[in-house]
């Protein structure tokens, strides 16, 4: 034992905390960071035993490999005078074992603790680490209400697939690892284990939290081991009254003898716990439908562990968002805001509060042996009550019908949208076509050149499967819009193809997506401004909650100089898609076009405070600073943004403009000399350098090529040096801007 005042490296021992078979734990002070920590020291007698020393080091490595709020965090590991020690965060509170000694837990605490343990195990399992000793002694309840899983000393790595044997097993045949009473049957038989073994052990812990009694406890250890292999524990109903049937079934599912019959992942268990918790909550009067004014559909989880099927979960989520936006009375948050949580699962109520909605939909989709298993739940953000929940099992080929069934069930709880339009049709027989479409949208949403190209191929394959599939044509139109808008294809190639695909989609079926795509082409390439406005309005009539349509329509109105109307549309887009970076950026762009540079700078700086690597906001901040008179700071920001964006030609041209506007025309000319940048961008450089003739000549080429930036001529502050020239008025007339339109109010 160490005494107060002794040191292990930079750690001063303050007081003993606990003592166990694998080490003594002390409260200590870290002299470097001036904080208190917990130090676990391996006794000298065990340090001389290779197996014990290996286990101690293995625990440190296992914890270090994990980073999760429900797993004890390790700070350091070392050896001092032959004494091995590890340093972890200092926890204040008690173990779950000590809490259970006072009796069973209330149902809300059972749910809370079980979800936290499942989350910790899920994080470990994702790193192919199996705990192998889940029990109440290894769960710590902090004074702050947190839950921490401890003691990964017998943890081990497994192969990534659950059904494969543990290739790194260090357990000798016949050797039991774990704690009797909480071992899985495969542990009792000394077989290779995987994540499902931990779920059996967690089932034992759950049973004990509910009943106050151990699931498997016999007079002798041998009898207990035999019971784990051959007997079921006494029914929960016989030991605890008032336990919801859903929770009873969940525990039974965890305690199946065959691992294939249990939950297949900690995430599956967590989802089932959420559903069971809904039934466990105290009954209350049903809310009126009108009380659910806003809704977020969180990304559905792909539960089979097959990354190749991730598109199914994403597609189901996106389709529900679109269908509910058309059919439900509530405001439905757009895809780009909710998908921020796709790879970072969080508490649905916390997400709902951040998005400012009344309710959230969560779900999980699993495909096994050609069968879809979809679980979905509607949860009240205010009090966590389950407003609706259901599980659907259908053949995989019934995905289309299933999406409509889920959407109808949720919409019924929310109230129908007045005069809602009929749902968009889906291919009736060619399920393969819809599969290709979903895969294409999955790739398109990556917003990369490669993703757009893959999406095009998949949309085209969908059309080969079903030549009358309108959504696939709309997908092609969207892909070409972005390939042209992002500069991956020349506009004279991208936009005609986009228009043809959008018109084909509308010839087959009217949809908001197709109208919106066609509107964008008519606006940005064809310069058919009345036609573009007509299509934007048709898109919003079809789906009043289409965030992208509101956003793009707002930009259209802005380029027409209709500032008040533009702001209303941008605000609607922001309400539907509150976390969208491009919508936030265009709020700043609105102020910039109004010459409200102080407000524009505020928006861009606010964005960069939270998203410092978002280059569009940094470009616009730099441009705004130059126009405000802070030229050198603006040049610096634009130079940084250009480097972050890979120094693409358009980015270099923007830097050249900033240099010219800062009174450094020679440097600007050097940058654009021979640069294959859009003509509009080069024209701005000449305008800033006071070279009007060159600017108008290059602008003429931009108009001939129908570059999309030309539609900003009326309101773009960077063309101000050219205003008042008859040639500028001629350009506005050539493009077709409304007569009498002004660059600012």
Q: Which residues are catalytic?
A: 133
Beta bridge partners of 27: 15, 38
User: Of the candidates 508, 509, 507, 446, which has an alpha carbon nearest to the alpha carbon of residue 478?
Assistant: 446
Count of positions (residues) in the chain: 745
Contact 17, 39 (CB under 8 A): no
Residue by residue, DSSP assigns 406-447 as HHHHHHHHH-BPTTPPPPPP--SS-HHHHHHHHHHHHHHTT-
CB 333 within 8 A of CB 293: no
Residue with tokens 């900033």: 658
Would you give the distance in Å from CA 593 to the centre of its chain? 32
Sheet containing 83-89: order of strands:
7-8, 11-20, 23-30, 35-41, 83-89, 74-80
Summary count for the chain: helices (H), strands (E): 31, 17
Closest CA to 248 of 204, 297, 299, 207: 207
Strands (E), 281-343: 294-297, 301-302, 331-332
543: left (phi over 0), alpha (psi -120 to 50) or beta: beta
CA–CA distances in Å: residue 224 to residues 196, 207, 214, 220:
20, 16, 11, 6
What does the block give as tokens for 544?
Answer: 């009043």
C-alpha to C-alpha distance for 742 and 745, rounded to whole angstroms: 7
3-state SS class at 601: helix
Q: Residues 222-254, buried b or exposed e (16+ Cβ, 10 A)? A: eebbebbeeeebeebeebbeebeebbbebbbbb
**Which DSSP state fits 548?**
H
CA distances from 528 to 498, 535, 553, 668 (A): 15, 11, 14, 35
Q: Torsions phi, psi of 71, nearest 5?
A: -125, 135
């Amino acid at each position: 034992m160490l005494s107060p005042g002794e040191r292990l490296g930079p750690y001063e021992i303050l007081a003993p905390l606990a003592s166990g078979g694998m080490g003594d734990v002390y409260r200590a002070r870290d002299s470097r960071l001036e904080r208190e920590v917990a130090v676990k020291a391996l006794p000298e007698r065990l340090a001389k035993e290779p197996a014990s020393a290996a286990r101690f080091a293995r625990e440190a490595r296992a914890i270090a490999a994990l980073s999760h709020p429900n797993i004890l965090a390790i700070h350091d590991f070392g050896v001092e005078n032959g004494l091995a020690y590890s340093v972890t965060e200092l926890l204040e509170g008690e173990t779950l074992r000590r809490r259970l000694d006072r009796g069973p837990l209330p149902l809300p605490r059972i749910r809370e603790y079980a979800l936290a343990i499942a989350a910790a195990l899920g994080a470990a399992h994702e790193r192919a680490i199996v705990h192998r000793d889940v029990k109440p002694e290894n769960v710590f309840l902090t004074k702050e209400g947190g839950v921490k899983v401890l003691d990964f000393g017998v943890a081990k790595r497994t192969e990534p697939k659950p059904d494969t044997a543990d290739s790194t097993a260090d357990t000798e045949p016949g050797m039991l690892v774990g704690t009797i009473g909480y071992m899985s049957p495969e542990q009792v038989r000394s077989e290779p284990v995987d994540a499902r073994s931990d779920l059996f052990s967690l089932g034992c812990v759950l049973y004990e939290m509910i009943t106050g009694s151990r699931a498997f406890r016999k007079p002798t250890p041998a009898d207990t081991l035999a019971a784990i292999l051959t007997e079921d524990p006494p029914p929960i109903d016989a030991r605890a009254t008032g336990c919801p049937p859903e929770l009873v079934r969940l525990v039974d599912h965890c305690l199946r003898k065959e691992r294939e019959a249990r939950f297949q992942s900690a995430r599956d268990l967590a989802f089932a716990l959420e559903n069971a918790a809904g039934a466990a909550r105290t009954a209350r009067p049903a809310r009126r439908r009108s009380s659910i004014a806003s809704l977020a559909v969180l990304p559905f989880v792909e539960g089979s562990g097959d990354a190749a099927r991730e598109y199914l979960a994403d597609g189901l989520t996106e389709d529900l968002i679109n269908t509910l936006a058309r059919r439900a009375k509530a405001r439905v948050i757009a895809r780009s805001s909710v998908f921020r949580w796709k790879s970072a699962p969080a508490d649905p109520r916390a997400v709902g509060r951040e998005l400012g909605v009344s309710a959230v939909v969560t779900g999980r989709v699993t495909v096994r042996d050609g069968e879809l298993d979809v679980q979905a739940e509607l949860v009240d953000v205010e009090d966590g009550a389950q407003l609706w929940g259901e599980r659907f099992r259908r053949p995989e080929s019934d995905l289309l019908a299933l999406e409509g069934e889920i959407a109808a069930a949720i919409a019924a709880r929310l109230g129908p949208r007045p005069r809602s339009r009929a749902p968009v049709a889906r291919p009736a027989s060619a399920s393969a076509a819809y599969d290709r479409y979903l895969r294409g949208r999955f790739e398109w949403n990556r917003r990369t050149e490669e993703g757009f190209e893959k999406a095009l191929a998949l949309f085209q394959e969908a059309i080969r499967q079903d030549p009358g599939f309108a959504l696939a044509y709309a997908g092609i139109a969207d892909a070409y819009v972005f390939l042209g808008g992002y500069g991956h294809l020349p506009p004279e190639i991208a936009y005609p193809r986009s228009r043809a695909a959008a018109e084909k989609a509308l010839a087959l079926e009217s949809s908001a997506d197709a109208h919106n795509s066609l509107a964008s082409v008519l606006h940005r390439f064809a310069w058919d401004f009345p036609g573009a406005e007509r299509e934007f309005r048709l898109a919003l009539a079809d789906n009043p909650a289409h965030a992208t349509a509101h956003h793009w329509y707002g930009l259209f109105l802005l380029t027409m100089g209709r500032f008040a109307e533009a702001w209303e549309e941008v605000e609607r887009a922001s309400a539907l898609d509150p976390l969208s970076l491009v919508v936030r950026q265009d709020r700043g762009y609105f102020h910039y076009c109004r010459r409200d540079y102080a407000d524009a700078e505020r928006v861009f700086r606010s964005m960069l405070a939270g998203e410092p690597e978002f280059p569009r906001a940094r470009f616009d901040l730099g441009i705004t600073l130059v126009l405000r008179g802070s030229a050198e700071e603006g040049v610096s920001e634009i130079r940084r943004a250009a480097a972050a964006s890979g120094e693409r030609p358009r980015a270099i041209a923007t830097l050249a403009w900033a240099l010219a506007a800062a009174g450094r025309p020679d440097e600007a000319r050097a940058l654009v000399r021979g640069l294959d940048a859009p003509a509009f961008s080069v024209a701005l450089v000449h305008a800033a350098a006071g070279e009007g003739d060159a600017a108008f000549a290059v602008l003429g080429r931009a108009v001939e090529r129908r570059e999309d930036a030309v539609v900003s001529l009326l309101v773009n502050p960077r063309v101000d040096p050219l205003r008042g020239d008859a040639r500028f008025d001629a350009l506005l007339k050539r493009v077709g801007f409304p007569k009498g339109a002004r660059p600012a109010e």
